Chains A and B, each alone.
Chain A
């Protein structure tokens, strides 16, 4: 593909050593969780510690799937996350476009607006959640997924806008100017010309939003009173150790189950990034 094929051994060696080190750093805790999830109670805290349990068992998974609402939680999470991502991109993209492509009264004004948007992100949900709850309760909107999705969108759009603007900035204006010269409206130039080029950026923003909302605990917990509507971030906590028994292995099993969908989706999405980036959109 590129002349970088012509390579000496050293960079490749370095790269691979880097891979190994990084992989180890990330694999160890992950493998530990997986290991915990397959252990019978007796081996849970075995000493000396071993990675592979002596008598691995599916017990934790069976219990978790049969006796809890985990599949419901996962489904709820999927629903909340996908709709939130969609909604966020729909709101953030035009805003990011405007902030990138329009000339503002002064650079300062733009900076102020950008900062203002970001400041919104600063107040921790810890404190806004109680007023939010009361606010929606008086409107009778508690216990609906729609409200949670809207709150998620509101929480994530500032970040998404910021990042998307950054990505749009890296695309030369020549591109959409050319389109508009050819008679396209702004909207058309955004959707038909910029969007394809921005795909890697949009995908990363989507991943960001997904991760942020997937494990979210406080917001759905307070806004949804029905347990069956809760996402996995809330469901996981129900398995923390209580005075009713050790639940570490259940927690581990749930963590694995909770991460698996995200992993699968990412593998699906990975191709998209690779395919698109190599198409080299910026041509003269």
Chain B
């Protein structure tokens, strides 16, 4: 029954098997474009950035700088740095969990609705995406207007109905951080939704059909069919959402500027301020390196937790 394997014709046969390196079975050949691209457009600048983190360069110093560990020392010995790390961890943690959960929720809603041919699922899908398409800076401005405490904003309406004339949204440290997280979840849920929705779509509908015929409830189907298939995507989702949230500053900038005080100044925003407002490139690079290290640690943690089982990544 097994068909005889016909020889695959390729350059390998052409050149008598000598140029094995160009065989389509050489995995490195497949990965070459990626490697080239990353080296030229990423590794070199990254290397430079790391190099600069060991200098005292400013953005206008051109070639006039010297090597020093000062940037790192300054960064790590500042007490506020640890407060910022804590703020960043809270921000990233809550945002990522929120995004992934809401993304899953909405993806499920949309998928189930689609399966049942309920009209309207496409609209919901599109709406969520709009929130994501808007540039971060614009979102920051919009949310700032939405959260205007003087009453001219939309958010003030429900509070007004309860008789609270001067609601506190952004003018105190804790609510400010909370709202920044909410705005970030609002923004990033679309990404999680898209990922998980697409993964749900690759599950053969027959599995669901069979399960329903067997009398499984929606919840059982979700738990036993959908969730396991989402495993890999969830890992990717978590990692990507974490990385992207770690690097988010564009929305926070117009929303709170990092304030009040430093309560919403996440590390990425701090880097922006240091490089573009204080013109200190060496210090900015140093903090960026630290941030990347944090990201690497987090990613490794995710990996450990989520892939120590069989079907992890292979």
Chain A residues near B (Cβ < 8 Å): 1-7, 11-12, 15-16, 18-19, 22-23, 25-30, 32-33, 36, 45-49, 51, 90-92, 94-95, 97-99, 102, 104, 107, 110-111, 114-115, 117-132, 135, 150-151, 153-155, 157-159, 161-163, 166-167, 169-171, 180-183, 185-187, 197, 200-201, 203-204, 207-208, 211, 214-215, 217, 232-233, 236-237, 240, 248, 251-252, 255, 258-259, 262-263, 266-267, 270, 273-274, 277-278, 280, 282
Q: Specify the chain A residue showing the minimal Cβ separation from B235.
A: A166
5 pairs from A and B in contact (CB 8 Å cutoff): A22-B124, A29-B142, A118-B299, A127-B275, A207-B194
Known interface pairs A18-B109, A26-B131; 15 further A-B residue pairs with C-beta atoms within 8 A, sorted by A's residue number: A19-B124, A23-B127, A45-B152, A47-B150, A49-B151, A111-B303, A117-B34, A122-B246, A123-B46, A123-B288, A131-B45, A154-B38, A154-B42, A200-B198, A248-B145
User: Shortest beta-carbon distance, B205 to chain A, in Å?
Assistant: 6
Q: Specify the chain A residue showing the minimal Cβ separation from B291.
A: A124
Q: Specify the chain B residue showing the minimal Cβ separation from A205.
A: B198
Contact (Cβ within 8 A) B151 A48: yes
- Whether A128 contacts B49 in the complex (CB less than 8 A), given A7-B116, A214-B133, A266-B129, comes out as yes
Contact (Cβ within 8 A) B240 A200: no
Chain B positions within 8 Å of A125 at CB level: 247
User: Shortest beta-carbon distance, B12 to chain A, in Å?
Assistant: 11
Contact (Cβ within 8 A) B275 A124: no
- Contact with B105, one of A18, A122, A255 (Cβ below 8 angstroms): A18
Contact (Cβ within 8 A) A251 B141: yes
Chain B residues near A (Cβ < 8 Å): 3, 5-6, 8-10, 24-25, 27, 30-31, 33-34, 37-38, 40-46, 48-49, 52, 59, 105-106, 109, 112-118, 120-138, 141-143, 145-146, 148, 150-154, 156-157, 160, 186, 190-191, 194-195, 197-199, 201-202, 204-206, 208-209, 212-213, 218, 229, 232-233, 236, 239-240, 243, 246-247, 249-250, 254, 268, 271-272, 275, 281, 284-285, 288, 291-292, 295-296, 299-300, 303, 307, 313-314
User: Shortest beta-carbon distance, A40 to chain B, in Å?
Assistant: 15
Bound CA span A5–B141, Å: 44
User: Shortest beta-carbon distance, B52 to chain A, in Å?
Assistant: 7
Contact (Cβ within 8 A) A122 B145: no
Contact (Cβ within 8 A) B313 A107: yes
- Contact with A2, one of B30, B115, B186, B229 (Cβ below 8 angstroms): B115
Chain B positions within 8 Å of A167 at CB level: 198-199, 202
- Whether A26 contacts B41 in the complex (CB less than 8 A), given A171-B202, A217-B137, comes out as no
- Contact with B49, one of A26, A46, A131, A170 (Cβ below 8 angstroms): A131
Contact (Cβ within 8 A) A4 B116: yes
Contact (Cβ within 8 A) A123 B135: no
Contact (Cβ within 8 A) A215 B209: no
Q: Specify the chain A residue showing the minimal Cβ separation from B120.
A: A19
Contact (Cβ within 8 A) B202 A200: yes
**Which 5 residue pairs are nearest across A and B when measured between Cβ atoms?**
A215-B135, A154-B41, A98-B30, A131-B48, A128-B45
- Whether A122 contacts B49 in the complex (CB less than 8 A), given A180-B8, A215-B133, A215-B135, comes out as no
Q: Specify the chain A residue showing the minimal Cβ separation from B196.
A: A204
Bound CA span A56–B280, Å: 46
Contact (Cβ within 8 A) A127 B284: yes
Bound CA span A157–B136, Å: 21
Contact (Cβ within 8 A) B186 A29: yes
Chain A positions within 8 Å of B285 at CB level: 127
Contact (Cβ within 8 A) B202 A3: no
Bound CA span A275–B11, Å: 38
- Contact with A32, one of B3, B121, B146 (Cβ below 8 angstroms): B146
Contact (Cβ within 8 A) A115 B300: yes
Contact (Cβ within 8 A) B202 A111: no
Contact (Cβ within 8 A) B204 A29: no
Bound CA span A151–B151, Å: 44
Contact (Cβ within 8 A) B142 A255: yes
Contact (Cβ within 8 A) B288 A15: no
- Whether A185 contacts B10 in the complex (CB less than 8 A), given A49-B152, A126-B268, A204-B195, comes out as yes
- Whether A258 contacts B303 in the complex (CB less than 8 A), given A45-B152, A207-B194, comes out as no
Contact (Cβ within 8 A) B212 A4: yes
Contact (Cβ within 8 A) A47 B240: no
Residue of B123, B295, B307 most packed against chain A (CB within 10 A): B295
Bound CA span A161–B38, Å: 12
Bound CA span A204–B134, Å: 17
Bound CA span A25–B59, Å: 42
Bound CA span A124–B239, Å: 15
- Contact with A118, one of B27, B121, B239 (Cβ below 8 angstroms): B239
Contact (Cβ within 8 A) B10 A47: no
Contact (Cβ within 8 A) A30 B38: no
User: Shortest beta-carbon distance, A30 to chain B, in Å?
Assistant: 6
- Whether A259 contacts B38 in the complex (CB less than 8 A), given A251-B141, A266-B129, A267-B126, comes out as no
Chain B positions within 8 Å of A97 at CB level: 30
Contact (Cβ within 8 A) A16 B118: yes
Bound CA span A127–B292, Å: 11
Contact (Cβ within 8 A) B25 A186: yes
Chain A positions within 8 Å of B117 at CB level: 1, 5
